[in-house]
């Protein structure tokens, strides 16, 4: 089958619309939620020490359970929520468990002397975290957080399990009805690339900026 430029241009607006309305929305909001919750999980585990074992079990369970299973469970359990809302919540909470591990590694990379210096200066806990620990930990954590956000971006096709039509699903439907998969999936792939590549570059620049 030869490439049909006219057909490719005709399906581009529909694929771009599905990307913006679903794929991009879920990724952006889900990533912000995951980054915030992941930091909460990491700080809580550090603060509680051994008492955080039940929380670790819960986070491990969420992390080790497949996303499609979580989507279906939440969708049918909380049927008063829209499918798109369920998708955002599930992706945000699921990836927060991975980001929590990234935060934890960044926090544990801080030398013991930094903690001791904060204690010697009688800094309150919230000041220690905000002014001493987190600024240093985030520098080591940022690349990993960016990778998890991109991974979430590529996992959005799982939303089809709860009936949310994101870009890849729309591309498959168009290809199935027109028998022209080459153009539809090529356009979908180019849209993914156009969104993910600048994001990766931005994360690298931000990483370098925080390093100074």
Instruction: Quick: pLDDT tens for 168-195.
Output: 889 999 998 988 899 999 999 999 888 8
**The pLDDT of residue 212 is above 60:** no
Please report which confidence band the pLDDT of residue 20 belongs to, taking 50, 70 and 90 as the band edges.
Answer: very high
Arithmetic mean of pLDDT, 111-115: 78
Share of the chain above pLDDT 90, in %: 52
> What are the structure tokens assigned to 115, written together?
């903690």
Instruction: Give the residue among 151, 145, 113 at the shortest CA–CA distance from 132.
Output: 113
User: Does residue 211 contact residue 139 with C-beta atoms inside 8 Å?
Assistant: yes
pLDDT, residue 132, reads: 77
Neighbours of 67 (CB within 10 A): 18
Which domains are assigned to the chain? Answer: 5-210 (1.10.3720.10)
């Amino acid at each position: 089958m030869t490439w049909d430029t006219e057909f490719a241009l005709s399906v581009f607006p529909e694929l771009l619309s599905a990307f913006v309305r679903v794929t991009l929305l879920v990724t952006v909001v889900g990533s912000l939620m995951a980054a915030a919750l992941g930091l909460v999980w990491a700080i809580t585990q550090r603060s509680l020490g051994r008492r955080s074992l039940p929380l670790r079990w819960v986070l491990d369970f969420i992390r080790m359970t497949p996303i499609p299973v979580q989507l279906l469970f939440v969708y049918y359990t909380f049927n008063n929520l829209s499918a798109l809302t369920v998708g955002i919540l599930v992706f945000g909470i699921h990836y927060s468990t991975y980001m929590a591990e990234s935060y934890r590694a960044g926090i544990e990379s801080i030398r013991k002397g930094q903690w001791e210096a904060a204690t010697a200066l009688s800094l309150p806990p919230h000041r220690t975290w905000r002014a001493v620990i987190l600024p240093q930990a985030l520098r080591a954590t940022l690349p990993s957080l960016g990778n998890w956000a991109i991974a979430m971006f590529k996992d959005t096709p799982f939303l089809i399990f709860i009936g949310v039509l994101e870009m890849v699903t729309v591309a498959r439907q168009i290809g199935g009805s027109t028998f022209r998969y080459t153009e539809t999936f090529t356009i979908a792939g180019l849209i993914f690339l156009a969104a993910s590549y600048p994001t990766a570059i931005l994360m690298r620049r931000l990483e370098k900026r925080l390093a100074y």
